[in-house]
Amino acid sequence: MKILCIGEALIDMICTDKGSSLSDGQHFLKKPGGAPTNVAAAIAALGAEVELAAKVGNDPFGKHLIEVMQDFGVSTRWMLQDTKTFTTFAFVSLMLDGERDFVFNRGADGELSREETDEIPLNDVGIIHFGSATGFLPGPLQAAYQGMLQKALLQNNIFISFDPNYRHLLFQNNTQTFIDQSWNFLQSCHFFKLSDEEAMLITGAHSVADAAAILLEKTNAVFTITLGKEGTLLGYKGQTYTIASIPVTPVDTTGAGDAFVGAVLYQLHQKALAEIQALNIEQWQQIIHNANKAGARTCEYMGAMEAFKHLSSAIFD
Protein backbone atom coordinates (compact mmCIF):
# COMPACT_ATOMS: atom_id res chain seq x y z
CA MET A 1 0.00 0.00 0.00
CA LYS A 2 1.27 3.46 -0.84
CA ILE A 3 1.36 6.73 1.06
CA LEU A 4 -0.38 9.87 -0.19
CA CYS A 5 0.87 13.30 0.93
CA ILE A 6 -1.29 16.33 0.24
CA GLY A 7 -0.56 20.06 0.55
CA GLU A 8 1.93 22.64 -0.53
CA ALA A 9 4.81 22.41 -2.96
CA LEU A 10 6.95 25.53 -3.16
CA ILE A 11 10.37 27.01 -3.71
CA ASP A 12 12.42 28.04 -0.67
CA MET A 13 14.70 30.98 -1.41
CA ILE A 14 17.33 30.55 1.31
CA CYS A 15 19.43 33.52 2.30
CA THR A 16 23.05 32.37 2.19
CA ASP A 17 24.35 35.36 4.15
CA LYS A 18 24.53 33.39 7.39
CA GLY A 19 22.96 35.10 10.36
CA SER A 20 21.45 37.91 8.29
CA SER A 21 17.82 38.91 8.46
CA LEU A 22 15.84 38.80 5.22
CA SER A 23 15.97 42.57 5.01
CA ASP A 24 19.78 42.52 5.23
CA GLY A 25 20.40 39.44 3.09
CA GLN A 26 21.87 39.86 -0.39
CA HIS A 27 22.30 36.32 -1.69
CA PHE A 28 19.64 33.61 -2.02
CA LEU A 29 19.76 29.94 -3.01
CA LYS A 30 16.81 28.21 -4.69
CA LYS A 31 15.68 25.00 -2.97
CA PRO A 32 12.52 22.88 -3.49
CA GLY A 33 10.31 22.70 -0.41
CA GLY A 34 6.90 22.65 1.22
CA ALA A 35 6.19 20.47 4.25
CA PRO A 36 4.23 17.63 2.60
CA THR A 37 6.60 17.77 -0.37
CA ASN A 38 9.49 17.28 2.03
CA VAL A 39 7.70 14.40 3.75
CA ALA A 40 7.05 12.71 0.40
CA ALA A 41 10.70 13.07 -0.62
CA ALA A 42 11.89 11.65 2.72
CA ILE A 43 9.55 8.67 2.41
CA ALA A 44 10.71 7.98 -1.14
CA ALA A 45 14.36 8.31 -0.10
CA LEU A 46 13.77 5.68 2.56
CA GLY A 47 12.26 3.35 -0.02
CA ALA A 48 8.45 3.40 0.25
CA GLU A 49 5.93 4.09 -2.51
CA VAL A 50 4.55 7.60 -2.15
CA GLU A 51 2.41 10.02 -4.15
CA LEU A 52 2.17 13.80 -3.80
CA ALA A 53 -1.01 15.79 -4.41
CA ALA A 54 -0.08 19.45 -4.85
CA LYS A 55 -0.33 22.31 -7.31
CA VAL A 56 2.52 24.33 -8.79
CA GLY A 57 2.72 26.96 -11.49
CA ASN A 58 3.22 26.20 -15.16
CA ASP A 59 6.61 27.89 -14.96
CA PRO A 60 10.26 26.85 -14.61
CA PHE A 61 9.98 26.61 -10.82
CA GLY A 62 6.94 24.36 -10.94
CA LYS A 63 8.60 22.14 -13.51
CA HIS A 64 11.69 22.00 -11.31
CA LEU A 65 9.63 20.84 -8.32
CA ILE A 66 8.05 18.06 -10.38
CA GLU A 67 11.43 16.94 -11.69
CA VAL A 68 12.95 16.89 -8.20
CA MET A 69 10.11 14.73 -6.90
CA GLN A 70 10.46 12.37 -9.82
CA ASP A 71 14.20 12.09 -9.16
CA PHE A 72 13.41 10.99 -5.59
CA GLY A 73 10.95 8.42 -6.92
CA VAL A 74 7.78 10.21 -5.80
CA SER A 75 4.76 9.69 -8.04
CA THR A 76 3.85 13.10 -9.50
CA ARG A 77 0.59 12.08 -11.18
CA TRP A 78 -1.29 14.47 -8.89
CA MET A 79 1.24 17.29 -8.96
CA LEU A 80 -0.85 19.60 -11.10
CA GLN A 81 0.31 22.73 -12.92
CA ASP A 82 -1.78 25.90 -12.78
CA THR A 83 -1.63 27.99 -15.96
CA LYS A 84 -2.85 31.17 -14.26
CA THR A 85 -0.84 31.32 -11.04
CA PHE A 86 2.89 31.36 -10.31
CA THR A 87 4.61 28.77 -8.13
CA THR A 88 4.60 29.65 -4.43
CA PHE A 89 7.81 31.00 -2.87
CA ALA A 90 9.02 31.06 0.72
CA PHE A 91 11.96 33.34 1.49
CA VAL A 92 13.94 31.83 4.34
CA SER A 93 16.55 33.37 6.63
CA LEU A 94 18.85 30.95 8.45
CA MET A 95 20.02 32.39 11.74
CA LEU A 96 23.24 31.50 13.56
CA ASP A 97 21.51 28.82 15.71
CA GLY A 98 20.12 27.10 12.61
CA GLU A 99 16.56 28.30 13.19
CA ARG A 100 14.48 29.88 10.39
CA ASP A 101 12.37 32.91 9.61
CA PHE A 102 9.84 32.87 6.77
CA VAL A 103 8.15 35.26 4.39
CA PHE A 104 5.64 33.66 2.00
CA ASN A 105 4.75 34.78 -1.51
CA ARG A 106 1.80 32.50 -2.04
CA GLY A 107 0.73 31.30 -5.47
CA ALA A 108 -0.34 28.05 -7.07
CA ASP A 109 -0.19 25.77 -4.00
CA GLY A 110 -3.42 27.31 -2.69
CA GLU A 111 -5.28 26.58 -5.93
CA LEU A 112 -5.46 22.79 -5.56
CA SER A 113 -9.22 22.22 -5.54
CA ARG A 114 -11.58 19.69 -4.02
CA GLU A 115 -12.81 18.76 -7.49
CA GLU A 116 -9.25 17.83 -8.42
CA THR A 117 -8.48 15.86 -5.26
CA ASP A 118 -11.84 14.06 -5.47
CA GLU A 119 -10.45 12.37 -8.58
CA ILE A 120 -7.62 10.73 -6.61
CA PRO A 121 -8.38 7.02 -6.08
CA LEU A 122 -7.73 5.73 -2.57
CA ASN A 123 -8.16 2.00 -3.20
CA ASP A 124 -4.39 1.37 -3.00
CA VAL A 125 -3.59 4.05 -0.39
CA GLY A 126 -2.79 2.87 3.12
CA ILE A 127 -1.68 6.18 4.67
CA ILE A 128 -2.68 9.78 3.98
CA HIS A 129 -0.56 12.58 5.40
CA PHE A 130 -1.87 16.14 5.74
CA GLY A 131 1.06 18.42 6.34
CA SER A 132 0.75 22.15 5.74
CA ALA A 133 -0.86 25.08 7.52
CA THR A 134 -1.50 26.65 4.11
CA GLY A 135 -4.33 24.13 3.84
CA PHE A 136 -6.10 26.10 6.58
CA LEU A 137 -6.04 29.40 4.68
CA PRO A 138 -9.21 30.43 2.81
CA GLY A 139 -9.35 29.16 -0.75
CA PRO A 140 -9.53 26.00 -2.84
CA LEU A 141 -6.84 24.07 -0.92
CA GLN A 142 -8.79 24.48 2.31
CA ALA A 143 -11.83 22.80 0.74
CA ALA A 144 -9.61 20.12 -0.79
CA TYR A 145 -8.09 19.39 2.63
CA GLN A 146 -11.46 19.04 4.30
CA GLY A 147 -12.83 16.95 1.46
CA MET A 148 -9.88 14.56 1.45
CA LEU A 149 -10.11 14.13 5.24
CA GLN A 150 -13.79 13.17 4.99
CA LYS A 151 -13.05 10.85 2.08
CA ALA A 152 -10.31 9.12 4.07
CA LEU A 153 -12.52 8.72 7.14
CA LEU A 154 -15.21 7.03 5.05
CA GLN A 155 -12.70 4.42 3.87
CA ASN A 156 -12.31 2.98 7.41
CA ASN A 157 -8.98 1.36 6.49
CA ILE A 158 -6.69 4.36 5.89
CA PHE A 159 -4.20 5.56 8.49
CA ILE A 160 -4.44 9.35 8.77
CA SER A 161 -1.39 11.43 9.72
CA PHE A 162 -1.33 15.17 10.48
CA ASP A 163 1.31 17.84 11.05
CA PRO A 164 -0.04 21.42 11.23
CA ASN A 165 3.27 23.17 10.43
CA TYR A 166 2.15 26.44 12.02
CA ARG A 167 3.61 29.64 10.56
CA HIS A 168 2.87 32.81 12.50
CA LEU A 169 3.10 35.01 9.42
CA LEU A 170 0.23 33.11 7.81
CA PHE A 171 -2.15 33.48 10.76
CA GLN A 172 -0.98 36.53 12.67
CA ASN A 173 -4.37 38.20 12.25
CA ASN A 174 -6.51 35.10 12.86
CA THR A 175 -4.75 32.50 14.98
CA GLN A 176 -8.06 31.10 16.19
CA THR A 177 -9.00 29.76 12.77
CA PHE A 178 -5.73 27.79 12.72
CA ILE A 179 -6.47 26.40 16.19
CA ASP A 180 -10.06 25.45 15.34
CA GLN A 181 -9.13 23.70 12.11
CA SER A 182 -6.22 21.92 13.79
CA TRP A 183 -8.56 20.44 16.39
CA ASN A 184 -10.72 19.02 13.61
CA PHE A 185 -7.72 17.10 12.28
CA LEU A 186 -6.29 16.21 15.70
CA GLN A 187 -9.56 14.55 16.66
CA SER A 188 -9.90 12.75 13.33
CA CYS A 189 -6.41 11.37 12.69
CA HIS A 190 -4.54 8.32 13.97
CA PHE A 191 -1.16 10.04 14.39
CA PHE A 192 -0.06 13.65 14.67
CA LYS A 193 3.18 15.50 15.22
CA LEU A 194 3.37 18.91 16.91
CA SER A 195 6.24 21.14 17.90
CA ASP A 196 6.30 22.32 21.51
CA GLU A 197 5.16 25.76 20.33
CA GLU A 198 2.25 24.29 18.37
CA ALA A 199 1.17 22.06 21.25
CA MET A 200 0.88 25.00 23.64
CA LEU A 201 -0.77 27.26 21.06
CA ILE A 202 -3.43 24.75 20.07
CA THR A 203 -4.26 23.63 23.62
CA GLY A 204 -3.84 27.03 25.31
CA ALA A 205 -1.54 25.41 27.87
CA HIS A 206 1.51 27.11 29.38
CA SER A 207 3.76 24.07 29.41
CA VAL A 208 4.40 21.06 27.20
CA ALA A 209 3.34 18.72 30.03
CA ASP A 210 -0.01 20.47 30.38
CA ALA A 211 -0.47 20.52 26.60
CA ALA A 212 0.21 16.78 26.44
CA ALA A 213 -2.33 16.12 29.19
CA ILE A 214 -4.99 18.00 27.22
CA LEU A 215 -4.14 16.15 24.02
CA LEU A 216 -4.34 12.80 25.81
CA GLU A 217 -7.77 13.74 27.11
CA LYS A 218 -9.24 15.19 23.90
CA THR A 219 -7.77 12.96 21.17
CA ASN A 220 -7.49 9.23 20.53
CA ALA A 221 -4.40 9.43 18.35
CA VAL A 222 -0.85 8.41 19.04
CA PHE A 223 1.01 11.73 19.02
CA THR A 224 4.42 13.28 19.33
CA ILE A 225 5.61 16.68 20.50
CA THR A 226 9.09 17.46 19.27
CA LEU A 227 11.42 19.04 21.82
CA GLY A 228 14.45 19.92 19.70
CA LYS A 229 17.72 18.55 21.03
CA GLU A 230 15.86 17.17 24.05
CA GLY A 231 14.14 14.59 21.86
CA THR A 232 10.45 13.84 21.45
CA LEU A 233 7.51 13.41 23.80
CA LEU A 234 5.32 10.46 22.79
CA GLY A 235 1.66 10.29 23.78
CA TYR A 236 0.22 6.78 23.81
CA LYS A 237 -2.91 5.41 25.51
CA GLY A 238 -3.12 7.93 28.32
CA GLN A 239 0.61 8.12 29.10
CA THR A 240 3.57 10.17 27.90
CA TYR A 241 7.13 9.04 27.31
CA THR A 242 10.24 11.02 26.33
CA ILE A 243 12.48 9.51 23.66
CA ALA A 244 15.94 11.04 23.48
CA SER A 245 17.44 12.33 20.25
CA ILE A 246 21.04 11.95 19.10
CA PRO A 247 23.61 14.77 19.33
CA VAL A 248 24.39 16.63 16.10
CA THR A 249 25.87 19.98 15.12
CA PRO A 250 23.02 21.67 13.25
CA VAL A 251 23.68 23.39 9.95
CA ASP A 252 20.06 23.93 8.94
CA THR A 253 16.93 22.67 10.70
CA THR A 254 14.82 23.01 7.53
CA GLY A 255 13.01 19.74 6.93
CA ALA A 256 13.96 18.06 10.22
CA GLY A 257 10.36 17.71 11.32
CA ASP A 258 9.38 16.50 7.86
CA ALA A 259 12.12 13.87 7.92
CA PHE A 260 10.84 12.80 11.34
CA VAL A 261 7.29 12.38 10.02
CA GLY A 262 8.53 10.68 6.86
CA ALA A 263 10.49 8.19 8.94
CA VAL A 264 7.47 7.42 11.12
CA LEU A 265 5.23 6.81 8.10
CA TYR A 266 7.91 4.78 6.32
CA GLN A 267 8.05 2.42 9.29
CA LEU A 268 4.26 2.00 9.22
CA HIS A 269 3.67 1.77 5.48
CA GLN A 270 3.69 -2.02 5.17
CA LYS A 271 1.16 -2.50 7.95
CA ALA A 272 -2.63 -2.50 7.70
CA LEU A 273 -4.54 -0.04 9.88
CA ALA A 274 -5.50 -2.78 12.35
CA GLU A 275 -1.85 -3.81 12.67
CA ILE A 276 -0.76 -0.24 13.36
CA GLN A 277 -3.46 0.18 15.97
CA ALA A 278 -2.19 -3.00 17.68
CA LEU A 279 1.38 -1.72 18.07
CA ASN A 280 2.51 -1.67 21.72
CA ILE A 281 4.43 1.06 23.52
CA GLU A 282 7.81 -0.60 23.02
CA GLN A 283 7.22 -0.73 19.28
CA TRP A 284 6.14 2.92 19.17
CA GLN A 285 9.16 3.96 21.21
CA GLN A 286 11.43 2.27 18.67
CA ILE A 287 9.61 3.95 15.79
CA ILE A 288 10.05 7.38 17.39
CA HIS A 289 13.68 6.65 18.29
CA ASN A 290 14.38 5.92 14.62
CA ALA A 291 12.44 9.00 13.50
CA ASN A 292 14.48 11.14 15.91
CA LYS A 293 17.63 9.93 14.18
CA ALA A 294 16.23 10.81 10.76
CA GLY A 295 15.29 14.32 11.93
CA ALA A 296 18.65 14.90 13.60
CA ARG A 297 20.66 13.75 10.58
CA THR A 298 18.67 16.10 8.37
CA CYS A 299 19.96 19.05 10.40
CA GLU A 300 23.51 18.28 9.29
CA TYR A 301 22.91 19.45 5.70
CA MET A 302 21.93 22.71 4.00
CA GLY A 303 18.41 22.35 2.64
CA ALA A 304 15.92 19.55 3.23
CA MET A 305 16.20 17.89 -0.19
CA GLU A 306 19.99 17.71 0.01
CA ALA A 307 19.64 16.09 3.43
CA PHE A 308 17.11 13.55 2.20
CA LYS A 309 19.59 12.29 -0.39
CA HIS A 310 21.54 10.95 2.57
CA LEU A 311 18.55 9.36 4.31
CA SER A 312 18.51 5.59 4.30
CA SER A 313 16.56 2.90 6.08
CA ALA A 314 20.00 1.89 7.43
CA ILE A 315 19.55 4.55 10.12
CA PHE A 316 16.96 2.24 11.66
CA ASP A 317 19.49 -0.54 12.30
Summary mean pLDDT of the chain: 92
| pLDDT-based confidence at residue 205 (cuts at 50, 70, 90) | very high
Q: Which amino acid makes up residue 33?
A: G
What integer pLDDT is reported at residue 109 of this predicted model?
95
| 3-class secondary structure, 211 | helix
Q: What percent of the chain has pLDDT over 90?
A: 72
Q: Environment class of residue 241 by beta-carbon count within 10 Å: exposed (0-12), middle (13-18) or buried (19+)?
A: middle
- Asked whether the predicted pLDDT for residue 56 surpasses 70, the reply is yes
Domain locations in the chain? 2-310
d(CA 72, CA 42): 8
d(CA 112, CA 140): 6
CATH code of domain 2-310: 3.40.1190.20
Most confident among 52-61, 225-234, 288-297 (mean pLDDT): 52-61
What integer pLDDT is reported at residue 19 of this predicted model?
75
| pLDDT-based confidence at residue 277 (cuts at 50, 70, 90) | very high
Average of pLDDT values for 232-246? Answer: 95
Tell me the CA distances in angstroms from 244 to 155, 191, 291, one per residue in order. 35, 19, 11
Average of pLDDT values for 146-157? Answer: 94
Q: How many CB atoms lie within 10 A of CB 109?
A: 31
| pLDDT-based confidence at residue 63 (cuts at 50, 70, 90) | very high
The 10s digit of each residue's pLDDT in 27-46 is 888 989 899 999 999 999 99
Q: Which helix (H) or strand (E) holds 95?
A: none
Q: Which amino acid makes up residue 19?
A: G
Nearest alpha-carbon partner for 53 in 107, 4, 125, 126: 4
The 10s digit of each residue's pLDDT in 152-194 is 999 889 999 999 999 888 888 889 999 999 999 999 999 999 9
What integer pLDDT is reported at residue 268 of this predicted model?
97
Q: Which helix (H) or strand (E) holds 33?
A: strand 28-33
150 or 93: which leads in pLDDT: 150
